[in-house]
């Protein structure tokens, strides 16, 4: 069963542009980018299932995420849309384009490829699960506990965006148990039938300092996406929108027109 996804809408005019966040993210991560894009596009920033304010579900794989997205497009009568997806959100966008191409006009994939990755984020999930939130009243206290397992302060700051205060205690607003149980699916990519190809215009944006899109990935990208260009954003890591937001916005505008 598809879920009705929570969203934030920016702008009333222009072509619909759906923005899909990555693992551990939410629509809020894209707020500043969406504000910059709203004069030109009707921006819909979504919370994917088990993230942000969207419903939780034990099922967390790309076919289910695609169904959520299809239902969202049809429920809001958006017709054919443009989609920008980052990381996990980019995989959702690619999976939708390859299975239901009639729903997508132009596609932008940010720093992810249609491949199976070896690295897992299960350690981050488990580190968050190990924190006993009962009795912790300050975000800094939660950060201190996370620092025992996660040394990188930037990653901890990103994960802590999922910490919410409910009445008298902290909770995680992401479904950690579902992410842990389904991590093998999330780091993979669904099998695509032979000959499948998306014919719409497609842009892949890779961060110069990131290793998520490598030269070895280019053949499968070109095989699955017929009208594709692969651009590099200088001085950006995996979180391109956080590292170089102005450059990302320029690329988006230049591509969508």
Q: Which CATH number do you get for residue 14?
A: 3.40.50.1820
pLDDT, tens only, 37-59: 999 999 999 999 999 999 999 99
Do 220 and 106 lie in one domain? The reply is: yes
Closest CA relative to residue 255, chosen from 69, 41, 100, 27:
41
Predicted TM-score of the model (pTM): 0.96
Do 91 and 200 lie in one domain? The reply is: yes
Please indicate, yes or no, if residue 148 is contained in any of the structural domains.
yes
Domain count, the chain: 2
pLDDT, tens only, 202-244: 999 999 999 999 999 999 999 999 999 999 999 999 999 999 9
Please indicate, yes or no, if residue 108 is contained in any of the structural domains.
yes
Do 148 and 110 lie in one domain? The reply is: no
Q: Is 161 helix (H, G, I), strand (E, B) or coil?
A: helix
Q: Would you state the pLDDT for residue 13?
A: 87
pLDDT, tens only, 4-46: 999 999 998 899 999 999 999 999 999 999 999 999 999 999 9
Please indicate, yes or no, if residue 1 is contained in any of the structural domains.
no
The last residue of a domain, from among 143, 166, 183 = 183
Domain with 226, as residue range(s), is 7-115+188-256
Do 194 and 178 lie in one domain? The reply is: no
Do 109 and 178 lie in one domain? The reply is: no
Please indicate, yes or no, if residue 2 is contained in any of the structural domains.
no
Do 214 and 170 lie in one domain? The reply is: no
Do 97 and 28 lie in one domain? The reply is: yes
Do 99 and 73 lie in one domain? The reply is: yes
The last residue of a domain, from among 165, 183, 201 = 183
CA 99, CA 34: separation in Å to the nearest integer?
27
Please indicate, yes or no, if residue 34 is contained in any of the structural domains.
yes
């Amino acid at each position: 069963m598809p879920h009705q996804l929570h969203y934030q809408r920016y702008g009333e005019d222009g072509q619909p542009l759906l923005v899909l966040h990555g693992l551990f993210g939410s629509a809020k991560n894209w707020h500043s980018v969406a504000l910059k894009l709203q004069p030109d596009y009707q921006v819909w920033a979504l919370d994917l299932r088990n993230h942000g304010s969207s419903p939780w579900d034990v099922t967390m794989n790309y076919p289910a995420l695609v169904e959520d997205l299809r239902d969202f497009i049809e429920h809001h009568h958006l017709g054919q849309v443009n989609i920008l997806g980052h990381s996990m959100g980019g995989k959702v966008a690619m999976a939708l384009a390859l299975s239901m191409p009639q729903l997508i006009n132009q596609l932008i994939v940010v720093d992810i490829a249609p491949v199976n990755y070896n690295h897992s984020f299960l350690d981050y999930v488990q580190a968050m699960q190990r924190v006993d939130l009962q009795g912790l009243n300050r975000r800094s206290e939660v950060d201190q506990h996370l620092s025992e397992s996660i040394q990188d302060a930037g990653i901890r700051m990103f994960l802590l965006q999922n910490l919410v205060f409910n009445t008298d205690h902290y909770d995680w607003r992401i479904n950690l148990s579902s992410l842990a149980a389904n991590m093998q699916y999330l780091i993979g990519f669904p099998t695509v039938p032979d000959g499948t190809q998306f014919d719409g215009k497609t842009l892949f944006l890779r961060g110069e300092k990131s290793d998520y899109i490598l030269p070895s990935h280019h053949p499968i990208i070109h095989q699955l996406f017929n009208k594709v260009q692969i651009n590099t954003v200088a001085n950006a890591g995996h979180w391109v929108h956080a590292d170089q937001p102005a450059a990302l916005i320029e690329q988006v505008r230049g591509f969508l027109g």
